[in-house]
Structure 1
């Protein structure tokens, strides 16, 4: 069925506002890579180096991990997905000002801002993909979620080009050559905050909190074509939530109680940590350090980083047309093999070419840059976009927000650990360190081949079956005494809307009596 254009556009609009939360992550991930090469920033904070230099980078991840594991899930579940995105954006704005206006010589204040921004973005980055997955039809869910990773690249694009422009006028701007880059981070969260009041809350959240059928129905009617679609999905949601609450657990204890959820959690942990071990996280944080081995001109390095972010947007678009056509497993496997080949190529270039005056010649540097650009060609649509897509769609409603928050922050756990010792690793081994990334990518391909099931176009309420769990729709239908758990039986009025009360006529047993079942 072709979706009505007005509702299709609105569905995309709502999803893109939520995906804007990823711009915050992409922007912030690029900020430290920018400022670490800014002489004004270094002088402002007394030229931090060594462990202190690494601490500035990793404190963001520490804040995000704390938020993702202990704050983001409860916030999104109790207040709603929209409120969680709004709170995350608000904290990000406050934290940006804390960083930008940290007093001279007080790097501790800057670090505090990094922790706060990690907390804010940890909340927003949990609620955003959950929101997109819960309002988007299953047949286009992967395509829409691909824009989540694309918006990460948009954030990096903005940060790198703003930094490049400010870097060209360092003498004129002085300390504002780095402060302006940091302050610019408030733009996107302000835009998101202004649009959130115009978005519907997800129907699954309404049903989860008090079985609010009327509000869930109104929400679905804004993003679905026909009344039959609305009532079919509403029935599926109610069946799944009833089963999850009454048979498994209505709390986060289901994360450990249900074997199929434990299995999903472990697989998603590996995939999200693997996303950073591919090499992308480290390259995003330390590419300037790597390029310094070839170019001494900071303006050239800023331009390369900006072009990298620009191509990242173009390469991520490949996920839009491939993820729902070829599937998640295909992208994981092809992307992993391609990234391993790129890392091998970069390492061999480093080993087999001569060192000139303590560094590599410019032609060799260009070849290395080409290899790293080719790496993001494989990374962006696969382990970049698809990791988020797969993580956001595999968990049942009772644990979805908490599980997505925990899994997504495993990226930061891996990054904190690896980024702490990568500078030393790179200083001692140079481009030989890329053999580690090559090996990690090959191991990830093997892991996907044996352990990761395909989730392409599977409805959220039926994902559990792929992991050895029960079909929550069918089991919930049994609890509600529904004849056909996949289709609602409704009576329509002359306007094509369900008659008053008709939405629940297919349920013979009231939900509040189920505990006697």
Structure 2
């Protein structure tokens, strides 16, 4: 078991969470890789100038892989092998797929496409385990702050990728085809780092208790909680919740359709996760190079804008650290949706109503205005529909279905991405910036949806969150069930008994 070499339980909690959140760097980097390489003439020539349909298909291959990984592999891996193993498997698949993409045969995009699919599977597995790990380790009063790291690290991934791409673009004549291969290969950095650091953090106490490894759960909690009383109380609460879920609902994934409250929250999670990708941010991440090509003619200028966008994305996401647990999840989602809608309306109006120059580009003032507006868009998006959707999704499901439900809900992002991004290049090509009015409408509807049906989860313990959705309090119900458990020499009658005492009684 890892030692708390940081001394402070709070500091160690942040340390472990940062390592898990680094899985999101994989997602942020990869979402920006394909965007970046499309701006390289060497990449276009290397793969025989792929048309809009093929560009969409390569992006879809990643999304399909992520959907398969998240829906079918992420939950079982996280539940049966553990959250840490899930993150490790995801990292290994990303490493394998990175080599496939970087060293694809010339003039054959099939290997590159297959690599995109495998990297999607790896991220589907890692992105299921990562947020669950953070949510299960963090105490309720700082859970939102720590989960903010998840979306922040997406921006870190984009930041690394776009600045590497900018440097390579500036020296493309010297690098040749390596101007895009270097961008792809740099993706190895973070998964290797995660694999090296995973042995220094514990498994989650909830997973240990689910697997009846109580002492390991106790050891893990001692690293991240301040007192022995906190450790014992949390172990007891987790055991009570698990006992209720096993006896009154189901310890298997069948609870996804047996429990009405779980069905409800799964549907809500599907909607907001799909909505996250339809806000316009998913298209900007994947196709901002092509979007900016309608405004600017210099590839290095476009690369610089993308890099600055990713840089500000980190700063804007960090805003969630001080506001998500202060104002709550619901308010952020509402304000974010309205702010993004206004930005998209103005972007569409400015571009479509301003004249183009002889070379097809826009004047410098118009170009600067559009870049400013799209930066303003991410100011609203990052702390709200970027960070908060992940926070809400990771904390609303009970232990018995958490891994599978989070995997399914988060990969709804890629379902929406697959459907929309396949035809977005054609949409953009045919309608230009009029496409941004579509995003404005979607963002308005999302803000209304949150106002009407999404409950606030701020400061609610994970074991008690079911009450918000019309379910039972798993701790209270489990307390009653656990009190009725007959032990080999006695019956537990006093529910103030600690879980350690219960284990001793069972040993007798």
In structure 2, the partner of 1:104 is 106
Q: How does 1:55-454 map to 2 (within 5 A)?
A: 55-209=57-211, 211-357=212-358, 358-454=360-456
Deviation of residue 294 (structure 1)? 1.6
Whether the 8 Å contact between 1:294 and 1:362 is mirrored in structure 2 is: no
CA distance in 2, matches of 1:13, 1:503: 32
TM-score of the superposition, structure 1-length normalised? 0.93
CA distance in 1, matches of 2:55, 2:187: 21
1:53 to 52, 55, 66: 55
Deviation of residue 423 (structure 1)? 1.4
Deviation of residue 363 (structure 1)? 1.2
CA distance in 1, matches of 2:109, 2:443: 36
CA distance in 2, matches of 1:326, 1:52: 44
Deviation of residue 503 (structure 1)? 5.8
Q: CA deviation digits over 1:309-328, x for unaligned, max 9?
A: 00000000100000000000
Deviation of residue 504 (structure 1)? 4.4
Whether the 8 Å contact between 1:318 and 1:381 is mirrored in structure 2 is: yes
Residues paired across the two proteins, number: 493
CA distance in 2, matches of 1:355, 1:503: 76
CA distance in 2, matches of 1:206, 1:245: 16
CA distance in 2, matches of 1:353, 1:50: 26
Q: CA deviation digits over 1:319-340, x for unaligned, max 9?
A: 0000000000010001111101
Deviation of residue 5 (structure 1)? 6.2
Whether the 8 Å contact between 2:348 and 2:436 is mirrored in structure 1 is: yes
**Greater Cα offset, 356-365 or 130-139:** 356-365
Q: CA deviation digits over 1:196-228, x for unaligned, max 9?
A: 11111001001111x221111111111000111
**Unaligned stretches of 5+ in structure 1?**
491-497, 512-517
Whether the 8 Å contact between 2:52 and 2:426 is mirrored in structure 1 is: no
Deviation of residue 376 (structure 1)? 0.1
Whether the 8 Å contact between 2:63 and 2:414 is mirrored in structure 1 is: yes
CA distance in 2, matches of 1:190, 1:440: 38
Secondary structure, aligned partner of 2:471? coil
Deviation of residue 67 (structure 1)? 0.7
Deviation of residue 502 (structure 1)? 3.0
Whether the 8 Å contact between 2:47 and 2:108 is mirrored in structure 1 is: yes
Secondary structure, aligned partner of 1:200? coil
CA distance in 2, matches of 1:53, 1:278: 21
Q: 1:374 to 1:5 in 2, by over 3 A?
A: farther
**Greater Cα offset, 388-397 or 414-423:** 414-423
2:479 to 470, 477, 480: 477
**Greater Cα offset, 414-423 or 118-127:** 414-423
CA distance in 2, matches of 1:86, 1:53: 30
Deviation of residue 483 (structure 1)? 6.9
CA distance in 2, matches of 1:363, 1:224: 54
**Alignment root-mean-square deviation, CA:** 1.5
CA distance in 2, matches of 1:158, 1:391: 26
Deviation of residue 351 (structure 1)? 2.8
**Unaligned stretches of 5+ in structure 2?**
1-5, 484-491
TM-score of the superposition, structure 2-length normalised? 0.95
In structure 1, the partner of 2:489 is none
Deviation of residue 7 (structure 1)? 1.2
In structure 1, the partner of 2:501 is 502
In structure 2, the partner of 1:493 is none
Q: CA deviation digits over 1:26-72, x for unaligned, max 9?
A: 00000011001101111111111121121111111100001100011
Whether the 8 Å contact between 1:344 and 1:434 is mirrored in structure 2 is: yes
CA distance in 1, matches of 2:52, 2:301: 25
Secondary structure, aligned partner of 1:440? helix
Deviation of residue 106 (structure 1)? 1.6
Secondary structure, aligned partner of 1:439? helix
